Chains A and B, each alone.
Chain A
Amino acid sequence: MENILKNDRIAAIWRKTGFLQQIAFPVGLLIVLFACAGAINPQFLSWDSIRIQLTLATFIGIAGIGQTLAILIGQIDLSIPANITLAAILSANMYGQTSSSLLAFATALGVGVCTGLLNFAGVAWLRVPSLIWTLSVNLVLQGVTLVYTNATAPSSTISPLVRWVVTGSIIGIPALLIFWTLCGTACLLVLHATAFGRRLYALGNNELASAMSGVNVFQIYLPVYLTSGIAGSIAGVLLSGYSGQTYLGMGDSYLLIPIAAVVIGGTSLAGGSGGYFGTLIGSIAVVQLDSLLTSLQVSPGLRKIFFGIIVLGMMLVFRRKRATV
């Protein structure tokens, strides 16, 4: 009897923390991926290679902060790619004109805040489905970028501060990784150790119920979309520091990849369950998977096919909904 109770309790804790979904599965996947990579080419396990992987994962992971929060409340943010491009281009131009890193960063921040407010207005206030609203915002931002640059190559003077954050290191630890760790820790703390985090999960589970029990839904939506906008524009600035230039369409691949990272990390697209830890692992797994396929020297077409099939296969094994009908 006691044994059963004990088992029940353990099972309950497992369910509550989403251990299998959010921790065991992504971490297991990551270990398998690294093992495969190591078996194919031991070079993969060298620090240089891992450092490159982590750098690439950082951009996904930071853009994924916003995406995770949006998906947790049962919405989505598809305006990230245009946000990344616009923030990168505007801040690079600002730096080119004023040579002030602070102003350049403020410009990027402004782009993020505007995007966030726009998304908030449509999704929370007008109650338009976020899928289509954020998609339209993406289209508008894309249009603004095109009209602003007039489709000429934008400025490519990147602030040295940004370049240092991306390439530099503090006592041997890459500065970018420290930055990601800080952002990630902040996100995890907010999600799991504050009242705001609890309300956020409650909202994602059942919006009506949480609103009727006194949660002001606007107070959840606003920070979520602001964070998402700002995280997107920061990812854009970092990306420009990494590639040393800005160009139209530089954020395009960040539409679907962060969503894949979030879903691999065990966050349910229906909202209310999951968290940032999974996304963290998920973004590394996505990058690792891609570079593993690249190292096998398969053609770009086959690489896409494998990527799709592998993600689908994992979803089928681990992420099926309960049968409803």
Chain B
Amino acid sequence: MKNWIKNSLYKGISFNTLIPAIGLALVLLIYWIQQPLIISDFGMVSISNQSVALAIAAMAQTLVVIAGGIDLSVGALISLSSCFAATYMSAAEGAAVPILVGTLVLGVLAGLMNGALVVYGRLEPLIVTLCTSFVLGGLALQIRPQPGGAVPSWFAAMLTGNLSFLPFSLVLLIASICFIWIPLWRSRIGRAIQAVGNNEQNAYISGLNPRKAKLFAYAVAGLLTAVAGLFITAQTTSGDPNVGEVYTLNSIAAVVLGGVSLRGGRGNVAGPILSGFLLSTIVSALMAWGISAFWQSLIQGLILILVLVGVGWQILRSESWRQLLQR
């Protein structure tokens, strides 16, 4: 047990996690200089609330990317779960809890659909999730053509409120790490997911079941995405068929910034979570300094490019041209 903690701490503080950690610390520092109020219970809640959705979506994306795939349907699934929850919660007063569970089941089913199409359909993850993003986004639009709906006030308070310095959204994030990520990651299946992402053929020869591993990765990613969708629903207290769109690309950005290899098999979840926080807080930090929100995508893009150039340059120096082409 002790060894495990030491090990994961060591792995957690790798070079890859260091970039987003330092970046986040810098951004928070810059933010704090201009707006000291962020070290208050209100400030904590606002930072946590605007970041947790992307952090959880990034966890989902991380899982799929480590399994050697990519999930372009994250945004559509977030929209769908938001529309589903907000619409049916407002329709049936007493049925909030079954609807919540139903949304999570919906997420798992959507993930399983992606996984089954990749595993049994033998199609490229890119094209599968591209198509399912149309299907899921269409379903969201079908349930709720215009933004609207409602959630019970206790539901919104439960996810977005705070207990002095502890925002409940942070509790949600920690709960998803403790109850979804770690049990999976520490299990045989979790190991198999990494092995399959690294080299499917070798994993198979070593007696692992690549199909099962991939299916699990996509299904759990669906579950996490639904959690992110539920959180956004609590935050906006309504459903919106377009609310998730930005999360597809942003989750990929967070994953890359977090040092997860897009070729699969390598990376941990701490980096993407921190990057999710970094990408979300940077905008409000700059706005506190009076820089207009229009700069958001330019700054996010430039950060990504800088990190990619840094990582690419490092690899370029350390490997021969032939090794590079082989990868």
Additional A-B contact list (7), CB under 8 Å, known A128-B309, A132-B253, A140-B301: A139-B249, A140-B305, A208-B322, A208-B325, A301-B145, A305-B138, A316-B123
A89 within 8 A of B: no
Q: What are 26 A-B contacts with C-beta separation under 8 Å?
A: A126-B316, A127-B327, A128-B311, A129-B263, A135-B253, A139-B249, A140-B302, A142-B297, A143-B299, A146-B294, A146-B296, A208-B325, A260-B130, A269-B127, A301-B140, A301-B143, A301-B145, A302-B142, A303-B138, A305-B142, A306-B138, A312-B123, A316-B121, A320-B121, A320-B123, A321-B122
Cβ of A136 < 8 Å from any Cβ of B? yes
CB <8 Å contact, B122 and A301? no
Q: A297 on the interface (CB 8 Å rule)?
A: no
Q: Known contacts being A128-B308, A316-B121, A324-B200, is A305 close to B134, with CB within 8 Å?
A: yes
Within B177-231, which residues are at the interface with A (CB < 8 Å)?
200-201, 204, 210-211
What residues on A are CB-neighbors of B135 within 8 Å? 304-305, 308-309, 312
Tell whether, in the assembled complex, residue A132 and residue B316 are in contact, meaning their CB atoms are under 8 Å apart. Answer: no
| Contact between B134 and A304, CB atoms less than 8 A apart | yes
List the B side residues contacting A207 at CB < 8 Å: 325
Please provide the chain B residues from 103 to 136 with a CB less than 8 Å away from any CB of chain A in the complex.
117, 121-124, 126-128, 130-135
Bound Cα distance from A52 to B122, whole angstroms? 36
A127 contacts B316, CB within 8 Å? yes
Which residues of chain B (285-327) have a CB below 8 Å from chain A?
292, 294-302, 304-305, 308-309, 311-313, 315-316, 321-322, 324-327
A294 → B minimal CB distance (Å): 14
Q: Is B172 an interface residue (CB 8 A)?
A: no
In the complex the two chains form, is A299's CB within 8 Å of B294's CB?
Answer: no
Contacting residues, chain B, for A3 (C-beta < 8 A): none
Q: How far is the CB of A51 from chain B (nearest CB, A)?
A: 27
Q: How many residues of B contact A (CB 8 A)?
A: 60
CA distance A94 to B322 in the complex (A): 45
Query: Residue B256 at the A interface, CB < 8 A?
Result: yes
Is B273's beta carbon under 8 Å from chain A? no
Q: Does B53 belong to the interface (CB within 8 Å)?
A: no
- Residues in A with CB closer than 8 Å to B309 are 122, 126, 128
Contacts of A312 in B (CB 8 A): 117, 123, 128, 131-132, 135
Query: In the assembled complex, which residues on chain B have CB atoms less than 8 Å from the CB atom of A270?
Result: 124
List chain B residues, Cβ under 8 A from A307: 134, 138
B-chain residues with CB within 8 Å of residue A256 when the two chains form the complex:
130, 133
Is A144 in contact with B316, judged by CB distance below 8 angstroms? no
Q: Is the CB of A139 within 8 A of B313?
A: no
Q: In the complex, A316→B70 CA distance in Å?
A: 18
Interchain CB contact under 8 A, A301 and B141? yes
Cβ contacts under 8 Å, A260 to chain B: 130
Q: Does A131 contact B (CB under 8 A)?
A: yes
Specify the chain A residue showing the minimal Cβ separation from B321.
A211
Which residues of B sit under 8 angstroms from A323, Cβ to Cβ?
A: 122
Q: How far is the CA of A146 from the CA of B210 in the complex (A)?
A: 44
Chain A residues with CB below 8 A from B262, complex form: 129, 131-132
Q: Is A214 an interface residue when CB atoms closer than 8 A count as contact? A: no
Least Cβ–Cβ distance between A16 and chain B, in angstroms: 23
Q: Does B64 contact A (CB under 8 A)?
A: no
Please tell me if B139 contacts chain A, counting CB pairs below 8 Å: yes
Tell me, yes or no, whether B151 is within 8 Å of chain A by CB. Answer: no
Tell me whether A304 and B141 are in contact (CB under 8 A).
yes
Q: Is A234 an interface residue (CB 8 A)?
A: no
Chain B residues with Cβ below 8 Å from A269 are: 124, 126-127
The answer to whether A143 touches B131 (Cβ under 8 A) is: no
Whether a CB of chain B sits under 8 angstroms from the CB of A150 is yes
CB interface residues, A 107-140, toward B, < 8 Å: 122, 126-129, 131-133, 135-140
Whether B133 lies near A325 (C-beta < 8 A) is no
**Residues of B with C-beta under 8 A to A122:** 305, 308-309, 312
A151 at the interface (CB under 8 A from B): yes
CA distance A259 to B126 in the complex (A): 10
Question: How far apart are the CA atoms of A269 and B70 in the complex, in Å?
Answer: 13
CB distance from A247 to the nearest CB of B (A): 15
B130 touches A301 (CB 8 A): no
- Tell me the complex Cα distance, A303–B121, Å: 23
Cα–Cα, bound, A325→B321 (Å): 30
B122's partner among A132, A137, A208, A320 (CB-CB below 8 A) is A320
